[in-house]
Structure 1
């Protein structure tokens, strides 16, 4: 017998209560995907409550059972049978809100939130915490609740705490003193849950098992279809045959759900794809007759024909519209589909021409390209695109309306001047998605109108100044350095910028070759982008900046900018810096140069900014040698504590000279991952089976490995690969210029999906893909990832810090030339393989 009631977080947490997560529950495992979805819901709810203070948002159920342990009088104890992931997340969010408000508004907020929602203040252990997570999560959770220096570590709970801290920092508008208070109110009084409480004596494990072993569910399209034809008692058969069946045959099941969502966001951009059926049913309930329902099905059928064109641009008859559809489809942002459907529907209704539709799409393409170039590829992009149809002006031609909408407010539609500056300084190679970066270079190449265009599939992005410079390259770049400049920081500031990048089919052959040798290969290339590079005598800062300027001039011609009324957003780089610093885990550090390379400036302005303006975790920014800057000052003049002592308490190790451990340093590429500049839903280097063709990828991998690392390393890797396949693993190879090798423990056909522990790069890195493992059973359990890290750290010369357990760290391939290290690695890979084949029971249960 169970009792169910709707409640809010305040009611759940106020009073002397304790919620215990049973041992059979999985450890905390929410990733940024779920955290972002929850945060977006909360931000929307906080905005909605401005107009309607009673607004709520339902976030699911919480199944509880009385604890079999009898606690002290006055403490109501419950087992969390289902819903522990969201309950844990919400209390972590409250920790982040508490700490943000205490830091920025006043210490009274710490005591208020802490004592009201996080602890039972007058109870001793073990009844002090209101939520008691599983043992594996307890230390990380306690660090957040008790605000210790270890709060915000590299584990999933620490990642959630850092994520919410970064979001609160970004959402806190100095001109709006109530914005964070509204967010807190939305969390504690606006998030609605159904609390289902079992009775004493119920088998809670059986309840949990039944909740997590449901069968296949009807899709939202299936539910909507059933609803519609329930409303067509006499016309159903005819409507199904003439309208619904053709629609169903032309669109895949997922595309049908997409269609019904697009139809909703056309009216209300806040509707989520998960709410399609409920929202459509609410709308359709207003209709009364069969004729009205039939008219809706006919309208769906017409919109479905337009969606099919969006999904299959080759079916579009107008060449201009077809080209723009193909490019936007290739870009891969589905939230642009509501606008595309609207534009095609306007043309269908006769209120827009094909030329206007193609022009509007060109402005959207330009918007995407320019945002990526300035390092703002993903900032609020979904909200902007989903709102455009409802907010753009209906009084002007559609192309003008689209451009005007994208040009107003903080939408980061970069001006020509911003593009010119960004192309020189922003690390293009670390921004956006890999295929989007390649598309921009590919479209630039197409703009030259070569009579012998090169097949894009055969091309890869090449760093002319290599990522791992040789002594010869160091000497060439050193000629450009000023007396106070550091080679490593100068290299970091140039290597990933657009001026240093090109397309080539000879990426693996070029590698780290000297510029003189690269010139010969580039000179014989059929790619126009390479011709001017090949004519240079040297390749340093002067040449890279000159090429950047030339590319910027071409870019602003190809992709038109915003209207003259568009506001410059010069604070964007500091917002990105603050987001990256907020995500920096406890026990790690970074440098002024790493931050500068990420945001596209120099180390000195970064240091000046941090000295004068408060920023999250600013004490974790050190000099390149790991020393605290001699002129370091806290922005708060009343603060005098030693940043080195604080870093030590957080877990950073220092040598006898006061230099931080370089293995704990978070570099530019890792900062980009943390800040969301490079999307991290999965690693970009996701392997897939390559089609059989003229390229022998295994042979090319070994050829590159031998060429770049020498025969001893190649032999060692040969041994590792042979042992891996003997275990039962398989090998997949990347098709980029550098042919990477993936050690596959499971293929994508496996019921739990594919998984691999490491990727080997001929350039010299054995990369451990913790970021990928974070979302793969059973290594979504932090304890297994931590065991893998500790096992690898047993190898001589390997020291992967705990702060990098959410990233993609690695070690040099030269480590494996030692027979003992190689044998130890093979033991650890065998352990990994066994774990991947037999997931732990806890990992089978999900919310």
Structure 2
């Protein structure tokens, strides 16, 4: 007999209960996208429960079966389905417990443990949740709050994600915010608990719940509802209105239209609730004429959405240009505002000139946020609320500008923009396509009569990411005081002043400035030609170019209204997010953090020393030693940070220096902060023995230009061995042509997978971050086995703390025949694992 009822996490976990995940279940595998979706739901629910404490949010079902070893004093269940959900919520409770115990009251630790995480008086059944064997140690580390909590496995990654989010949302001026989060998790997350009887076939239940075939879309459901309400007019309305609408928009676009219509009334509505929201609204209509008029209105809005999605169909040239740009920026959260603008024009309350002006302010808002390192912060909420919250008494373009200018919306002022363009690592912010768009639009602002085709252009670092001896000597001339080359290079290399667009590839790469200057001088790109006028390329020149570009940006993209509240500020919250996500067994430096947020190591040191920061003990000086002025934020602490780091897994040499292999650099910090997006493999190529593709040629040319012949020979030998064992080679489309060792293509039923990416500038990158979402390497034990194999190679050291990142080793390791042959065997093992997974 199956019993199903709606419940909450509180009801599930209170009392003497134990939920055991069977050994045959897959390991914990939720990735950042799923964690973020759950976290966003919880935050929204916590806010809404202030006004409506009984509000809940349904997150799915939990299928349970009584344990065959049912004990007399504890209710034991096997988790047949829903273990990912239940494990995630338990990890989140661990993070909430630790955060509240540290920042509010230590008593929260025992309270949350005893209520929701452990059966204190049942030692034989101490854990309320017992994960599958592979995840148990990582989960218990979080449960017991040991130094290993928050490791590089999936469980640890989830704990670090939630720890970072709690740090980010904890407002010192609001003592109740984290309590509201906890309440939303415990009392607001609603589940359907399906409990099978002792004789029931739990697998049949699972199949019936999950194997439901093709599901109706939200648009399908709404269409069915509408025509159910049109018993006599249905045929006519379908032929005259609905069928033309379906010809204009496909199913996904229709669903988007119905969601956008709801957003105009309620900015908080989710796209997954489109049908429910529209049905609730339409229930207030009582006649067929009313329903028909709604369908007619949908048709009018559908025609406008069609123009937004296909700007080439717009008649006004300036509106068409602005729509095309916002379309290229590729964010759906701007669609409600665009639909509103076009509808205002349709209704005669705004002109084409006004809505084009409004779209320019939106474009400027996007560009300026990206340039100050705030590309994504709360942007969805800001845009979705624009229609309902902007002033109605102003012309529509001024209403948009005013709305974006008030409050904490990060519409960068001219002052803030000038400072940020000099210091913020532009190349590590936003999406790669958006970074290229900004440079492309800047190039267009020069008004060149012979524009270069955008598809042929890539972003080029003038001072290269991997500097040669010549570049080191040039930049060393600019060092001041106790500055190190590495700190200054990291502070400059990814800033806008050091970037340009180019159609060249191997011709530039890591070449000296003398060579680059000659090539850039012949370029059809104005952004590049102006660099060729310089005699050298160091800090003064990069800063001067940044200043000139800032003035061009200010002239091209108008800023907020006068008196806007967003003045210049250092993004310390970004630093704290990265610090909170630092894995146990790793460390970073003040210079790395400074480069991440566009600050200076001294300022970062002062901030960490005088303001509470997550994992502050993991911030060391560049050589891996504790800063002389380090002190705990808690004045009662007297333990040595070095002892804690050792307990977490950081290794120190006899001189007290932390292992550089365990250091998290600026690009890895950006990964932890969620900033960059890795380029994916591009065009599929034939094996090297039949090489006849331009990208293939370009990769080999860059490799030959940048590396010694022995390194080239070793790298090519590895690539040939990979293709001989059945692998493929794909290539990236960036300025530096990366090579992906593909074991499976994107059309494979399990998805594409590759173990490594080779960069001609000298890096053999292991893509653990990618592997964590691809079977069979979504199993942490396989990734760890791969890491240990690679770590045994001569000259290679990959720290366990980097198991969720993209670490690597230099290509010169491949010069050694023994190391190269061992690497090929490890790649053969990897390829065999992916082939075995297919069965």
Q: What is the TM-score normalised by the length of structure 2? A: 0.97
**SS of alignment partner, residue 753 of structure 2:** coil
Partners of 2:126 and 2:491 lie apart in 1 by 50
**What is the Cα deviation at residue 565 of structure 1?**
2.6
Partners of 1:339 and 1:221 lie apart in 2 by 21
Match of 2:712 among 711, 714, 720: 714
Partners of 1:655 and 1:113 lie apart in 2 by 39
Match of 2:799 among 789, 796, 801: 801
Partners of 1:199 and 1:569 lie apart in 2 by 62
- Note the 1:371-390 alignment, pairs <5 A: 371-390=369-388
- Note the 1:443-482 alignment, pairs <5 A: 443-482=441-480
- Note the 1:483-562 alignment, pairs <5 A: 483-562=481-560
**SS of alignment partner, residue 738 of structure 1:** coil
Partners of 1:765 and 1:213 lie apart in 2 by 45
**SS of alignment partner, residue 742 of structure 1:** strand
Asked if the contact 2:415–2:567 (Cα under 8 Å) also holds between the matched residues in 1, the reply is: no
Relative distance call for 1:836 and 1:569 in structure 2 (3 A) is farther
Relative distance call for 1:694 and 1:719 in structure 2 (3 A) is closer
Partners of 1:384 and 1:688 lie apart in 2 by 37
Partners of 2:496 and 2:594 lie apart in 1 by 16
Match of 1:169 among 143, 167, 176: 167
**What is the Cα deviation at residue 233 of structure 1?**
2.1
**What is the Cα deviation at residue 635 of structure 1?**
2.0
Relative distance call for 1:572 and 1:42 in structure 2 (3 A) is farther
**What is the Cα deviation at residue 725 of structure 1?**
2.0
**SS of alignment partner, residue 507 of structure 1:** coil
Q: Which residue of 2 aligns with 1:760?
A: 758
1:87 matches 2:69: no
**SS of alignment partner, residue 507 of structure 2:** helix
Q: Which residue of 2 aligns with 1:615?
A: 613
Greater shift, 599-608 or 154-163, is seen at: 154-163
Partners of 2:693 and 2:353 lie apart in 1 by 42
Partners of 1:203 and 1:377 lie apart in 2 by 50
Q: Which residue of 2 aligns with 1:76?
A: 75
Partners of 1:356 and 1:450 lie apart in 2 by 27
Deviations 1:272-311 (A, max 9, x none): 1122222222222222222222222222221111111111
**What is the Cα deviation at residue 482 of structure 1?**
1.1
Asked if the contact 1:461–1:507 (Cα under 8 Å) also holds between the matched residues in 2, the reply is: no
**What is the Cα deviation at residue 507 of structure 1?**
3.2
**SS of alignment partner, residue 26 of structure 2:** coil
**SS of alignment partner, residue 506 of structure 2:** helix
Partners of 1:830 and 1:207 lie apart in 2 by 41
Q: Which residue of 2 aligns with 1:732?
A: 730
- Note the 1:574-613 alignment, pairs <5 A: 574-613=572-611
Asked if the contact 1:778–1:840 (Cα under 8 Å) also holds between the matched residues in 2, the reply is: no
**What is the Cα deviation at residue 569 of structure 1?**
5.0
Greater shift, 351-360 or 729-738, is seen at: 729-738
**SS of alignment partner, residue 510 of structure 1:** coil
**SS of alignment partner, residue 61 of structure 1:** strand
**SS of alignment partner, residue 758 of structure 2:** strand
Deviations 1:739-786 (A, max 9, x none): 111112121222222222211111111111122222222222222222
Q: Which residue of 2 aligns with 1:230?
A: 228
Q: What is the TM-score normalised by the length of structure 1? A: 0.96
Partners of 1:775 and 1:250 lie apart in 2 by 36
Asked if the contact 2:699–2:737 (Cα under 8 Å) also holds between the matched residues in 1, the reply is: yes
Q: Which residue of 2 aligns with 1:427?
A: 425
**What is the Cα deviation at residue 508 of structure 1?**
2.5
Partners of 1:514 and 1:49 lie apart in 2 by 60
**SS of alignment partner, residue 459 of structure 2:** strand
Q: Which residue of 1 aligns with 2:413?
A: 415
Q: Which residue of 2 aligns with 1:359?
A: 357
**SS of alignment partner, residue 508 of structure 1:** coil
**What is the Cα deviation at residue 673 of structure 1?**
1.0
Partners of 1:832 and 1:212 lie apart in 2 by 32
Deviations 1:246-289 (A, max 9, x none): 22222222212211111111111111112222222222222222
Q: Which residue of 1 aligns with 2:28?
A: 28
Asked if the contact 2:757–2:765 (Cα under 8 Å) also holds between the matched residues in 1, the reply is: yes
Q: Which residue of 2 aligns with 1:347?
A: 345
Deviations 1:783-832 (A, max 9, x none): 22222212222222222112111111111112122222222222222222
Partners of 2:752 and 2:234 lie apart in 1 by 43
Greater shift, 28-37 or 830-839, is seen at: 830-839
**SS of alignment partner, residue 155 of structure 2:** helix
Partners of 2:646 and 2:212 lie apart in 1 by 48
Q: Which residue of 2 aligns with 1:328?
A: 326
Relative distance call for 1:340 and 1:813 in structure 2 (3 A) is same
Relative distance call for 1:295 and 1:839 in structure 2 (3 A) is farther
1:652 matches 2:631: no
Match of 1:145 among 132, 143, 146: 143
Asked if the contact 1:56–1:191 (Cα under 8 Å) also holds between the matched residues in 2, the reply is: yes
Q: Which residue of 2 aligns with 1:4?
A: 4
**What is the Cα deviation at residue 728 of structure 1?**
2.2
Partners of 1:269 and 1:243 lie apart in 2 by 27
Q: Which residue of 1 aligns with 2:682?
A: 687
Relative distance call for 1:170 and 1:735 in structure 2 (3 A) is closer
Structure 2, unmatched stretches of 5+, are none
Relative distance call for 1:175 and 1:247 in structure 2 (3 A) is same
Deviations 1:71-117 (A, max 9, x none): 2x321001111111111111111111111111111111111111111
RMSD: 1.8
Asked if the contact 2:9–2:185 (Cα under 8 Å) also holds between the matched residues in 1, the reply is: yes
**SS of alignment partner, residue 46 of structure 2:** helix
Partners of 2:145 and 2:564 lie apart in 1 by 42
Partners of 1:571 and 1:107 lie apart in 2 by 33
**How many pairs are equivalent?**
836
Q: Which residue of 2 aligns with 1:844?
A: none
Asked if the contact 2:685–2:693 (Cα under 8 Å) also holds between the matched residues in 1, the reply is: no
Partners of 1:586 and 1:176 lie apart in 2 by 29
Greater shift, 772-781 or 114-123, is seen at: 772-781
Partners of 1:595 and 1:688 lie apart in 2 by 35
Partners of 1:840 and 1:82 lie apart in 2 by 23
**What is the Cα deviation at residue 224 of structure 1?**
1.8
Q: Which residue of 1 aligns with 2:53?
A: 53
Partners of 1:165 and 1:713 lie apart in 2 by 42
Deviations 1:193-228 (A, max 9, x none): 111111112233443344444422222222222222
Partners of 1:328 and 1:357 lie apart in 2 by 13
**What is the Cα deviation at residue 608 of structure 1?**
0.7
Deviations 1:631-680 (A, max 9, x none): 2111222211100110111111111111111111111011111112225x
